[in-house]
A and B are shown apart, each in its own frame.
Chain A
Amino acid sequence: MRVPMTEYLVIDLDTERWTCRVCSQDIGDAHDSYKKGTLVYDRDPREIHQPIIDPNRYEYTFSPDPTYCRILEYYCPGCGTQIETDYLPPGHPPTIDMLIDVAALRAQWEKSGLDAEEVFNYGPGDDAQKYTAHHKATGHIR
């Protein structure tokens, strides 16, 4: 069984591997951080949050300062989907945001008797149901 753990990652309980939800690329050992299996780009934050006021005249411009802040972008090595971003000081190692107890996850889903991908949802509310149904019909969300 595949259990959706983030927008772009599932844990395959059969192989105990992180797997891309978009292209099914194997990412890595589900007992470890998925980030080890991704491509990583150290982004200058000014490329994303671009200055709104003139950076040649002013110190504070709406852009983060690259000597304070970098954006680590993590991509699936199979399809290039940007799986996650980290905002970190320069040189800071990637954060380990999730370490899952895979055995407990398996036990949880076996006990439920449900298929994790079939029952996956984004939560309650009329707007959630409406928008999710619309985007699923057009293939915009999984």
Chain B
Amino acid sequence: MTAIDESPATKLTVQEQEWVDRFMDDTTLFLGPDPEIMRDHSIAPRSDLEEIVLAEGVDRMQVERIRKRIAGALDEGYEMCEAQGAAPGAKWGDLTTAIYTAAGDVAYLSCHGVIAFSAILHHPIRYINKYWKNEPTVGVNPGDGFIHNDARFGNVHNTDQSMIMPIMRDGEIIAWVAATIHEGENGACEPGGMPSGSETPFDDGLRMSPFKIVEAGHLRRDLLTFLQHSVRDPKLQLADLKVKITAVRKIMERIDKVIDEVGVDTFVGALRTTVEDVDVEVRRRIGELPDGTYRFDQFMDSTLKENILIKIACKVTVKGDSMVVDLRGTGPEILNRAINSPLCSVKSMMMQAILAFWWPDLPRCTSAMSCIEIISDEGTWADASYDAPMGQSLQASFRGFSAFQALYSRMSFSTPHKYSNVVANWYNQINTFLWGGITQHGDMVGNLCADLNGMPGGAKPFRDGEDAVSPLFCAMADTAEQEVMEEEVPFMQLVSKRLVRDNMGFGKFNGGMGYEMIVAAEGTAQWGFMTVTSGSKFSSIYGMYGGYGCGAYPLAMVKGTNVYEHIRQDNKKFDLSIEKVMNERPFEDGRYMTYHMGLQFDIAKDGELYMISQGAGGGYGDPLERLPESVVKDAELGRITQHVAESIFAVRYDPEELPARCRGHAAGPSGGPPGALAAGQAVRRVLRRVRHHGAAEGPSLLRVVG
């Protein structure tokens, strides 16, 4: 039983309060994330130097020249990381280089890479400034470098590791440069850095608050050794630390030349001008949106261990040039499951939506979200507390992206000047295989397949979404060469990048399609796979303006058989797809099963099949407005079945004459005589009304093409 002292608090004198404060400062047990830093996503006030420089006025042309040179330096650093990085994530472009003001505001990000980092790395830099800069045992000096990954101190998630280095002149920090790479393996309870099975924060692997690992230009071997012993892939840990240090130094070398040419004041003024310009422009753009309240609620169906339903709420209120985002109503954190996210990570994905889908023309600055107020209750799964596991925090943070993407279409639909296209929801799950174990070369590794980058795009109001085009968090990320990977890991993708029929968000314009992956390991002492996503019972993205969202995605497995042996005996059995394998069951000795997409690390015996599919982009508009010839073309290409053509699009065709019919329709824009389309739509709407009243669907109500 806990005894509660209910005696009235004694009021302390000023002197007594000072003693208490000094005692607490002198006897701090340990430093955690600072709420003052972590709850704040706004730009810092001007420093004294920035105030003086900007008061004197800046040469706009000079600022623009400096921006261009910084952009070039950052892109060079980015390419170095991509070309030299050992992590699979680095090879696919899941990284960023950036320059920050002295206070930590992102002033510019590399053109490629993960934009979300522009909403996140000011947190660790402010932490370094506040706690380490004047700490006698740490300090910040030229040539120093800080490493960091713990999302509770500001990160997208714990797989990402940053190298942060100061630019100093005369003992003062005037800017920071950092490189951040999705490293993957981090010593978590499961390989790959994003454990779906973590049940405490201690299962999440390395939790690096910002600390100095490079001192006066030298990588500290003692700390490096500690890190290498904390992860499954010590070679990766070393190699990419070197890569990030080298890239940051190269960027700093370029920037040093700029500073030497223009002087410290002009350089500092240019960074701050960029940050403030974006802040002013964002307020102006919010002012263009119609005042009102916009809401987008999402539902998630999994803790990644069991099926549940949990909500993430998002209400945006626009009034004049102010925008308030209210996340209250979001479900509670779950203290023994991996889906929780710190608020900063959710905000970073909101920033991803702002800078990639709202205003992609803006420089990528902290200030792009600075003036937007965000209200959230700590202790929810999108604003998790210090003690919550966060191994698969993307479950919450990516829904922050989806909310912002969907809501902007509503907010901006009427505006005469748009900065990006109206677009339905992007797929928002990282449907891919994480893997780990002993390779054919005897190395212990843990990481993931690049297929998470094959997210399908949402439909636009004038064209279908693109199939498996890019992840929502990185427009230029690559799905990589699987064959190259197979030289390093003991499994093959027996089926890779094969589109799954009917897997799209249906609409007047369809969302992009996703592809399936079938993997099987062989010739390894130990190997395993895992999957870390939701959306097996409840669609994870929704359609727009009458379009439909994506379906629900299973993990399918065939255990107890070695498929490679079957294929060696009869290579005709190699014609695989999830549909074919699971429905036809070609391997007589196999056990066929499905599972939700939250598979904890599962030991794979030789030749056992693991099968998943990418999701689909959201559809746009009423499917009954889709042009009949587009429906028939989809059928001809095998993208949809005849059943979907009839039941979703109300288009009937003769499959025997499919190619001929398609050629015929290509002759005219509407695929028939003038008026045919309108008549068709009328019939299809009758079908819709009949559906509404629950009457049986008669074949006579279907549109017959041709």
Contacts and interface: CB of A to CB of B under 8 A. Distances in A.
A49 interface: yes
B462 A122 contact: yes
Interface of A: 3-8, 39, 41, 45, 47-50, 52-54, 57-65, 68-69, 71, 74-75, 79-89, 95-101, 104-105, 108, 112, 114, 116, 119-125, 127-128, 131-132, 134-135, 137-141
Interface string B494-523: 000000111100100000000000000000
A108 B500 CA distance: 46
Interface in B609-640: 613, 620-625, 627
Contacts of B347: none
Given A122-B418, A122-B460, A122-B461, A87 B685 contact: no
B78 interface: no
A80 B669 contact: no
12 contacts: A5-B410, A7-B545, A53-B554, A63-B551, A79-B685, A81-B685, A81-B688, A98-B292, A101-B292, A120-B414, A123-B420, A131-B462
Contacts of B502: 50, 52, 62
B596 interface: yes
Nearest to A81: B622
B594 A59 contact: yes
B688 A80 contact: yes
Main secondary structure of the interface of A (DSSP, over half): loop
A58 B594 contact: yes
Given A64-B537, A137-B669, A87 B416 contact: no
Contacts of A141: 461-462
Interface of B: 290-297, 299, 301, 307, 309, 319, 410, 413-414, 416, 418-422, 460-463, 500-503, 506, 536-539, 542-556, 578-579, 582-583, 592-596, 613, 620-625, 627, 643-644, 647-648, 669-670, 677-678, 685-686, 688-689, 691-692
Nearest to B611: A53
A85 B538 contact: no
Contact of A64 (B552, B583, B592, B595): B552
A82 B418 CA distance: 25
Given A64-B538, A89-B299, A123-B419, A131 B463 contact: yes
Contacts of A127: 463
Instruction: Point out which of A6, A7, A65, A75 has the most chain B C-beta atoms below 10 A from its C-beta.
Output: A7
B291 A85 contact: no
A136 B132 CA distance: 61
B416 A112 contact: yes
B462 A128 contact: yes
A112 B290 CA distance: 13
B372 to A, nearest CB: 18
A69 B539 contact: yes
A104 B317 CA distance: 13
Contacts of B545: 6-8, 83-84
Contact of B692 (A41, A48, A83): A41
A7 B291 contact: no
A139 B421 CA distance: 20
A80 B295 contact: no
A88 B299 contact: yes
